[in-house]
Amino acid sequence: MVTIKEIARQAGFSPATVSRLLNGDPTFSVKEETRRKIFEVSARLGYDVQEKHGMPALRDIAVLDALSSNEELQNAYFAELRDTLLATANQRNVTLTFHTDIERLIADADQYDGFIAIGPEIQPHESLERLHDVLPHGVFIDVNPAPNLFDSVQPDLAQTMLDAITEARGRGMERIGFIGGSGHMMGTYQYPEDTRTMAYRNWCERLGLDITGIFFVGGRTSVETGRELGRRVVTELGTTREQLPDCFIVSADPITVGVLQEFTQAGIVVPRDVELISVNNQSIARYTSPPLTTYAIDLKAMANTALLQLMESVSYGGETRRHTFLTTKLVVRGSFTPAGK
């Protein structure tokens, strides 16, 4: 059983502060950051914040489930996220109703306390504005298409890129290449570079790393994009250890799978000729040859955090939108070995 003392220890506040907040002491006032931190730790540990704090429990939540139909591995990531969200909601006795069409969700908005959105498909901003008019409480997981309208929970991919570069430099590597997809939406703006691409370029510039000729970007997150970019690497750089960089950071496991296929066909042996660091830790990462060293995104933590943020949004309202970033963790397999392993 989770105790107030354990929540206080992990949150970094006194048991008295935690107890008074979670038990709804009407005379007790704390900073919003303190409140959010205690609620987050309580939810992660499985403490029933809703009932014990007296906040209205979420019962009916819509899920805007916008999966693409043309990329199996990319869909597999969001399908796993969907299953994790469903399991997490079941533990909290929250009913989820899935919608694939934003217009249908807008029409049925009065049936729900709020919504959570998953999936890579881009929604028209005009539709998101109309959704906000009828269902203002919403959280996007993994993406952030409307930062001024809805909350979001995302993996901290900018930090992941710095972590990956740091791991490579810890091995004495200086030629650290990048392979990745392009483009993402933020509000009404289309960015030509993916978040990971932007972060990689920024950190390499700040760290004085030369990426000339070892930077390959373009296309959606897919195996086919990985194959196309892998062919470019072979054509432009060659196939020997002397011609290739020390390692490539690859933006997502589906792309890495395609890169591995092209490298194998061209006679490039990973990790002998070049090492690879990937992102996502999808199931396929265990079964490639070699198995992928990749940064794991904690889907359970994202689902928990999204539900908690939605609960707080419904309970407290307000115009301030919150965007939470969660760290990732390196899972070491065969495509890259950190120093000391």
With beta carbons less than 8 A apart as the criterion, state whether 152 and 164 touch.
no
pLDDT at residue 162, as a whole number: 98
Element of type H or E holding 88: helix 72-91
Q: What is the rounded distance in angstroms from the CA atom of residue 315 to the CA atom of residue 242?
A: 59
- Tell me phi and psi for residue 324, to 5 degrees: -100, 135
Please tell me the predicted confidence (pLDDT) of residue 188. Answer: 45
Instruction: Tell me what pLDDT residue 321 has.
Output: 92
pLDDT at position 280: 94
- Cβ-based neighbours of 75, under 8 Å, separated by 6 or more: 67, 68, 69
Asked whether 218 and 225 are in contact (CB, 8 A), the reply is yes
Helix (H, G, I), strand (E, B) or coil at 33: helix
CATH architecture, domain defined by 157-297? 3-Layer(aba) Sandwich (3.40)
pLDDT of residue 226: 96
At residue 73, the pLDDT reads 66
State the pLDDT at residue 1. 64
Q: How many CA atoms lie within 13 A of 233 on its CB side?
A: 38
pLDDT along the chain (341 residues), means of 10: 82 85 68 78 73 55 77 75 90 87 93 88 89 94 91 96 98 97 54 82 96 94 94 98 98 96 98 97 94 96 92 79 95 96 75
Residues whose CB falls within 8 Å of the CB of residue 88, separated by 6 or more in sequence, listed in order: 300, 303, 304, 307
Would you list the DSSP string of 133-165? HH---EEEES--S-TTTSEEEEE-HHHHHHHHH
Do 60-154+298-326 and 157-297 have matching folds?
yes
* CATH fold of 4-53: 434 Repressor (Amino-terminal Domain) (1.10.260)
What six digits make up the tokens of 291? 């198995």
Q: Is 235 exposed, middle or buried (0-12, 13-18, 19+ CB in 10 A)?
A: exposed
pLDDT reported for residue 258: 96
**The total number of residues written for the chain in this structure:** 341
First-last CA distance in the chain: 36
pLDDT at 21: 79
Q: How many CB atoms lie within 10 A of CB 69?
A: 7
Global pTM reads 0.80
- CATH T-level topology, domain 60-154+298-326: Rossmann fold (3.40.50)
Domain ranges across the chain: 4-53, 60-154+298-326, 157-297
